[in-house]
Amino acid sequence: MTKVVARGPIARWTRQGLPVLVIMLAALLAWYLGAWLLNAPAAIERVLPQDGAWRWQDLLVATMEMQRPVLPAPHQVWQDFWSAVLDWPLDSPRNLLFHVAVTAESTLWGFVMGTLLGLVLSVCIVHSRTLDRALLPWIVASQTVPVLAIAPIVLVILGSLGFAGVAPKAVIAMYLCFFPVTVAMVQGLRSPQRIETEMLHTYAATRWQSLWLLRLPAALPFLFPALRVGIAAGLVGAMVAELPTGAQAGLGARLLTGSYYGNTVQIWSALVMSALLGLTLTTVVAGVERLVLRHRSQA
């Protein structure tokens, strides 16, 4: 029954890379097809000659070059993306990278603060029975609640306290990172087995020593998946936080201005950019994970 899996880089590429490439090409084709179909009615009405003197090739070209398409063709998004990145100075609000920097800044601040808060609280929970029984159930239950909905309240509260700019966005990203990190770390800090904790006990290790030498290293494999979830949630939080602030800077603001002015291509390039930002942030976390856990044997 067992299949012989071919080895070597070429065999691995045809096994893993090729299917992904095929699917991506198929998605690209579907996108073009969708652009053609969805833009056709508007193109016939607005762009092509009214007397009906056009061939299907004209329709095809017209749907690919619409000013305000229902669905922009991939190359339009590509052009807008590059012109938004390259044609303007980095500190101009017309440059997409400027908005990426704004969003990434608040995401990262929130991520760092949320992770630290989660770490501290999980250590407290593991060492205090009261917190464990009284507080942890609420933190676990909060996973089933759309906590992102509190974002406007946080904005109003911090706004009336005089905080503006990065701080409110970072706070929202922070509390979104905080929940998954805390839950996973409590699990991870509890993962050492009895025999291991008892061995440290026989060495007369203090609580701090057993935390530092045993519990924290044992919790790392639990921490990193939560960090990946947390940074993705933090990015969504930072983008949502940019919506009601009068839409000045950030990817969320860019999306909103695009939808105000009906600039579809701009929405799509902001969308592509936020996807890229999400992928980059998670890849960085995954890279750190690999670096930190490189000596662990694969379980």
Contact residues for other proteins (CB under 8 A)? 15-16, 18-24, 70, 129-130, 132-138, 141, 143-146, 148-150, 152-153, 155-157, 160-161, 228-229, 232, 235-236, 239-240, 243-244, 251-252, 255-256, 258-259, 262, 264, 267-268, 270-271, 274-275, 278-279, 281-282
CA distance 63 to 32: 10
Least distance CB 212 / other proteins (angstroms): 26
Distance between CA atoms of residues 104 and 114, nearest Å: 15
Q: How far is the CB of 203 from other proteins (least distance, A)?
A: 27
* Helix axes of 56-64 and 18-46: crossing angle, nearest 10 degrees: 110
Residue number, 117 or 247, with CB nearest to other proteins: 247
How many C-beta atoms surround the C-beta of residue 3 within 10 A? Answer: 5
Nearer Cβ to other proteins (102/214):
102
Residue 214 or 234: which CB sits closer to other proteins?
234
Residue pair 241/253 in contact by the 8 Å Cβ criterion: no
286 vs 292, which CB is nearer to other proteins? 286
Cα–Cα distance measured from residue 163 to residue 124, given in angstroms and rounded to the nearest whole number = 29
Q: How far is the CB of 241 from other proteins (least distance, A)?
A: 10
> Residue 158 in contact with residue 171, Cβ under 8 Å?
yes
Q: Whole-number minimum distance, CB 1 to other proteins, in Å?
A: 8
26, HSE (Cβ side, Cα atoms, 13 Å):
6
Query: Taking the C-alpha atoms of 51, 53, 56 and 62 in order, what is their torsion angle to the nearest 10 degrees?
Result: -70
How far is Cα 209 from Cα 215, in angstroms, rounded to an integer?
A: 9
Between residues 15 and 209, which has the closer beta carbon with respect to other proteins?
Answer: 15
The least CB distance from residue 217 to other proteins, in Å, is 26
Q: Which is nearer to other proteins, 56 or 138 (CB)?
A: 138
CB of 6 vs other proteins, minimal distance in Å: 14
Extract the tokens encoding 18.
């090729």
Write down the least CB distance from residue 236 to other proteins, Å: 5
76 close to 69: Cβ distance less than 8 angstroms: yes
Minimum CB–partner distance for residue 37 and other proteins (Å): 13
Give 79 or 282: the residue with its C-beta nearer to other proteins.
282
Nearest in space to 281 (alpha carbons), one of 65, 158, 34, 106: 106
The three-point CA angle 224-142-234 to 5° equals 45
Question: Of 119 and 277, which has the nearer Cβ to other proteins?
Answer: 277
DSSP per residue, 96-129 = HHHHHHHHHHHHHHHHHHHHHHHHHHHHHHHH-H
